[in-house]
Amino acid sequence: MLPIVAVIGPDPASSTVIDTATEWGSVEAATWIERAELYGPHDDPIEKLVSALRRRGMATGRLGLELGSGRLPHLSPSDLGRLRMLLPDAAFVDASDLLHSVRAIKSQAEINVLRRSANLIVHAFQAVCQSLRPGLTEVELTRIASSAILEAGGTPDLNPTVLIFMAGSQRYRAPLLPATERPVGRDELISLDGGCSVQGYHSDFARGAVIGRGSPEVISQFDAVVQALTAAESAIRPGRPVGDAWSAAQVVLDDAGLGDAAVNPINIGHSIGLDHWERPTIARPGSEMGDVRARPGMVLCIEPQVAGAHGDDSWSRGLFLVEDQILVTGSGIEVLTAAFSPELYVIGGT
């Protein structure tokens, strides 16, 4: 992918975007930056960038770029090497942490579209659960959810919708595998996980369902994960470390005998926005992420999950996962996905 670079200096009015003529229209519709310097298929984007920096007096001093873990700068190592060579008097520094901290606090406009995205995925999962019956395949469930999103006013987006519906021991072991033609059956724990995006802003949500009745063990373990979710959400408060939520969930899982069965023992969630997984993660206390303090405007996804209990066959018993998307407010939290209860959705009774 060709680089798209926003050049932002001490004077915001002089900001510009280095972009291709083909992509600028889409970028222009979503950015506050009014100026662009476009390059064609035979132009050198790095030379265009260097020229823009020099004209703004930014060829010396400290230049911050997204170079840290988890970033997608669309800047190859060779391009970065050329930048260093063409700007020998500049000091290149990693600005990832700074940008993460800015992106962690959403504006009201961002919150509005994130709320819309959360509403759409809740509506889609409700449609799936209302349609569930034995024999429907994972692909068919995905179609139901996708149709529900579009019928509710969702629009196709460059950021793909991620929908994962699965049931059965082999599928629990591959939770990120795309939909298959496997049909769901009676008494199987069905995991619903995924999200959609609105104007590039994502949702992430998970619930569980069963057709008929699950075993007492399945119901008990799913209930423990729901309680862990509730405890974690109660611990998220402005000014408190997000690691408090990890601790609250872990206490519940430990009491249920599931403390060692966590799918991800390091964290139980993440921030969300333009990326599906953003910082901070909801990590254990004492870690870099776990010590980050919740602040109003953060939008977080809380997702405790366990795989069965102890033993080699733990995955065969189910993937026990619930996930809410929440907004940190000045006094507490707002659960953006509260319209769909986290309790196990049971179809068909006894």
Are 321 and 215 in the same domain?
yes
Question: Does residue 350 register a pLDDT over 80?
Answer: no
Are 161 and 207 in the same domain?
yes
Q: Give a yes or no: residue 229 inside a domain.
A: yes
Q: Give a yes or no: residue 179 inside a domain.
A: yes
Residue 150 phi/psi, 5° resolution? -65, -40
Residue with tokens 């901290």: 101
Of 94, 115, 148, which residue sits at a domain end? 94
Q: Give a yes or no: residue 341 inside a domain.
A: yes
Return the structure tokens found at 13.
């009015």
Q: Which among 167, 160, 121 is positioned nearest to 144, based on CA atoms?
A: 121
Return the structure tokens found at 332.
């507490």
Number of domains present in the structure of the chain? 2
Are 139 and 48 in the same domain?
no
Give the CATH number for residue 253.
3.90.230.10
Residue with tokens 């996930």: 323
Of 47-51, 257-261, 271-275, 331-335, the poorest mean pLDDT is in: 257-261
Are 194 and 343 in the same domain?
yes
Are 310 and 225 in the same domain?
yes
The residue type at 208: G
- Run of H or E residues at 188: none
* CA–CA separation, 305 and 319 (whole Å): 7
Residue 322 phi/psi, 5° resolution? -135, 145
Reduced DSSP (H G I as helix, E B as strand, rest coil) percent helix, strand, coil of the chain, to 5? 35, 25, 40
Of 57-61, 130-134, 220-224, 315-319, the poorest mean pLDDT is in: 315-319
Q: Where are the beta strands (DSSP E) in the chain?
A: 5-7, 16-20, 36-39, 61-65, 90-94, 162-167, 189-195, 197-198, 201-202, 205-211, 267-271, 278-283, 299-302, 305-307, 319-321, 324-328, 333-335, 345-347
Of 94, 114, 131, which residue sits at a domain end? 94
Are 218 and 281 in the same domain?
yes
CB 200 within 8 A of CB 106: no
When pLDDT is averaged across residues 16-40 and rounded to a whole number, the result is 88
pLDDT digits (tens, 9 = 90+) for 49-90: 999 999 999 999 899 988 876 555 567 888 889 999 999 999
Q: What residue numbers bound the domain in which 71 lies? A: 5-94
Of 59, 94, 129, which residue sits at a domain end? 94
Question: Does residue 303 register a pLDDT over 90?
Answer: yes
Are 318 and 196 in the same domain?
yes
Are 125 and 271 in the same domain?
yes
CB neighbour list of residue 98: distance below 8 Å, 6 or more residues apart = 64
pLDDT: which is higher, 29 or 242: 242
Of 206-210, 217-221, 222-226, the poorest mean pLDDT is in: 217-221
Are 203 and 295 in the same domain?
yes
CB neighbour list of residue 221: distance below 8 Å, 6 or more residues apart = 256, 258, 306, 308, 309, 317, 318, 320
Return the structure tokens found at 58.
């930014």
Q: Give a yes or no: residue 60 inside a domain.
A: yes
Q: What does the mean pLDDT of the chain come to?
A: 89
179 DSSP 8-state letter: P
Are 110 and 74 in the same domain?
no
CB 15 within 8 A of CB 7: yes
DSSP readout, 83-107? HHHH-TTEEEEE-HHHHHHHHHS--
Are 57 and 115 in the same domain?
no
Q: Give a yes or no: residue 195 inside a domain.
A: yes
CB 60 within 8 A of CB 89: yes
Q: Give a yes or no: residue 100 inside a domain.
A: no
Are 169 and 75 in the same domain?
no
Q: What is the pTM of this model?
A: 0.89
Question: Does residue 139 register a pLDDT over 60?
Answer: yes
* CA–CA separation, 71 and 181 (whole Å): 34
Question: Does residue 310 register a pLDDT over 50?
Answer: no
CB 202 within 8 A of CB 251: no
Per-residue b or e along 238-255, where b marks 16 or more CB atoms closer than 10 Å to that residue's CB: beebbbbbbbbbbbbbee
CB 83 within 8 A of CB 45: no
Q: Give a yes or no: residue 99 inside a domain.
A: no
Q: Give a yes or no: residue 101 inside a domain.
A: no
